[in-house]
Amino acid sequence: MTLTTLEPPKPAPAPEPAQQASATHKRRRTLPSALGEPMVWLTGGALITCLVMIILLFSMVIINGTRTFWPRPIDRLELASGETLLGIETQHESATETTEARTLYRIGNRDIGQASFRWINDSDISSKTQPDDAVMLEREAWGVWFGVPQQIIRVDGEDDGVEVVAQGSEAYFESFDELHAQARADKVQIDRMKKHDLGRINAEMERARLQLRQAEIEVARDDSELFRFSPVGWGAFAVLAVVCVASLVKFRHLGTEMGSPVARQGKLIRAVSLIVLLATGVALWVGAPWAESSITEADITQMRERLVQREAELQQRYDEILAQVREIESEDSRLRVSVVEPNTDRFAPTSQTLADQRLHMSQIVRQVRPNTMGLTEKIGVYFSRWWEFLSTFPREANTEGGVYPVIIGTVLLTLLLTMVVTPMGVIAALYLREYAKQGIITSMIRIAVNNLAGVPSIVYGVFGLGFFCYTVGAYVDVGPSETTRMGVSTWWLMLVVSAMLVIAGVATRLWSKPDPGKLPSTMNVMLQRFSWVVWAVSVVCVVMLIAGTPYFNGLFEARSSNGTPTFGARGLLWASLTLALLTLPVVIVATEEAIAAVPNSMREGSYGCGASKWQTMRRIVLPGALPGILTGAILAMARGAGEVAPLMLVGAVKLNQDLPIDGEAPYLHADRSFMHLGFHIYDLGFQSPDSQAARPLVWTTTLLFLSIVFALNLLAIVLRAKVRSRMAGPTV
């Protein structure tokens, strides 16, 4: 056997340069359009543009909103005309071809005829200094006052006797803080006694008068035509109600077995018993013997005597508290300050009509001396102004003071509309997606819902004013009007007809369903269509039954008789319902998408385990769709909180000292009008008598509005995240 050695192959000779060039092929260039690069740049550029716009928006609001309360130096201007001014520089305009360089100064002192703001050409200023003794007084009324302090005095009554407490700027500044703190404490006590103590007495007097007025109305009303059951008739109806309850108990299991041939009969018996029981309860409620007023003229006479006695007691308490208020006010009015402006040497007056009397110490909200303040003192003034802005009531046509009632109104409105719109939207979406037969009618309803989202918000405001305020509210106050109130016999006949129609609707609906395992017959289809007609007529009859009842005369008849509507006017409740209607499409659409995202396999698994339709909805579908439902609630909250146009018609006002929520029962007064941040911003920007003074507050209020909406949305987002984490379960 011989072994053969294999030699490695020899390398091929290198090609000639000409051959190498011919063998090399050019690589074809791929166009950018084929790779999608233009679309990448376009979409990325659009995203960057949107982000830049959002960042600019928030940056502008934050910068302008946070610098409003920062104390700025006070300039003393000597003009070429010989005039001397004290003011704060707020804006500067450079020179152009047609105008000179000029500066806008806030000079205040409106109560002596000066303009709050004034443009001054730079060429007219001879000298500009920042004196150490210049102060700005923030007052209860008439805006700010710029001047130089001279003295603090104590006046003895109405006489001209004057005690000088501090003379000169140095003594003034040494004594001011302690005296001002005591004066402001007295002022707070006076306001509390006037608003709470005296206000509580006035409210109690009003309640006593309304009780008497209601009794007089009931005595004057002729209820002889109203049908009332005798004790025998009432007993017969009571027996009928007992029979209905016994039928519900007796036949509670009839027809509930799977595939039972008497399923329809059992459901019909239970439905008829429940409907008759409900109609019987209504009849017993309105026709009971004790429902008739038993007040007589003798009772009215006794009530009047008790009212006179009660008013005398309340008036005595009122006079005692008022005397205490007058005593504190008298002592408070004695301490006064003399702060003069440099041009005419006029001091800050008590008011425009009392120009010869010096300013009361308690009328000064805050004294600012920015030219000598250090950084720590300026920060203290800055946060003090913020606290005043957040915790006090507005004053000076909303251009001064705080926005506390505005915050309360905005938060209450947002919470109420969310509590109303979320369950309504979820129920509607659940029916459309899970129960309604998918067809042309359902598609038309979805189109209508989507179109409602595009209806101008002012249209909802008009609807809310006409329907909620003037229709539903008037019904709650005084009951049905004379044109809609039915006769007694007509109403009782309508009650019987309504009960029979509801029973017919239930029966036709039950017999419109085919037998198990069979296709719907022509009779089933006809009964199903007829059932919709019967149910529509039943709803109309029930609405007429409620709207025209002669047994209801309103809940606030006495107050309305004085020309003061309660719910028949604009208020927090109607504003919440109007915005709930406005944001309802948002919740419905979001909830439908969330329900559709729940896998059908989970439903089928639930049905396979023997769960019913409702059990599947409650245990499987709704928990799975809850994050999406909360997303819809967040979107509705954000949109409803920012609406202004409907609120101008259904509840928001420029100024309201009575909060919708307080310590008096029922604590939440949904009938009261309220203040809203969106409307407040509109009022500051376009309705303020001093637009220059209100302009900084527009930015600050906008910043506060965004912060509140962001906080409410953040709270909802955190809740949604917790729900999602709970549904996801523990990770392995």
3-state secondary structure 214-231: HHHHHHHCCCCCCCCCCH
H/E run at residue 76: strand 75-79
Predicted pLDDT at 389 = 92
In angstroms, what CA-CA distances link 656 with 6, 192, 384, 394, 698? Answer: 108, 17, 24, 9, 19
In angstroms, what CA-CA distances link 704 with 249, 266, 296, 501? Answer: 58, 60, 57, 54
Roughly what angle, to the nearest 10 degrees, separates helices 440-452 and 572-596?
130
Distance CA(662)–CA(646), nearest Å, equals: 25
411, 94 Cβ separation under 8 angstroms: no
Only one residue has tokens 């709704």, namely 622
Can you give the pTM of this predicted structure?
A: 0.85
Which residues, other chains included, contact 104 with Cβ-Cβ below 8 Å and sequence gap of 6+? 89, 90, 91, 92, 93, 117, 118, 119, 120, 692
Roughly what angle, to the nearest 10 degrees, separates helices 37-66 and 691-728?
120
598, 620 Cβ separation under 8 angstroms: yes
Predicted pLDDT at 462 = 93
> If we measure between CA atoms, which residue out of 179, 182, 188, 154 comes closest to residue 338?
154
H/E run at residue 463: helix 457-463
The torsion of the CA quartet 130, 133, 134, 139, rounded to 10 degrees, works out to 160
What φ, ψ does residue 315 adopt, rounded to 5°? -65, -35
β-bridge pairing 75-79 and 125-129: antiparallel
Predicted pLDDT at 473 = 92
> If we measure between CA atoms, which residue out of 334, 388, 384 comes closest to residue 188?
388
Mean pLDDT of successive 10-residue stretches along the chain, which has 732 residues = 51 54 57 67 89 92 91 91 89 85 89 85 90 91 89 74 85 90 91 88 89 84 73 76 81 60 75 86 78 76 89 91 90 90 87 84 91 92 93 84 91 91 92 85 88 88 92 91 87 90 88 77 84 90 91 87 86 93 92 88 86 86 86 86 89 86 82 90 83 84 89 82 69 43
> If we measure between CA atoms, which residue out of 328, 367, 354 comes closest to residue 172?
367
Predicted pLDDT at 1 = 44
352, 360 Cβ separation under 8 angstroms: no
690, 143 Cβ separation under 8 angstroms: yes
> If we measure between CA atoms, which residue out of 65, 62, 61, 89 comes closest to residue 75?
89
Residue 538's beta-bridge partner residues? none
Distance CA(438)–CA(576), nearest Å, equals: 32
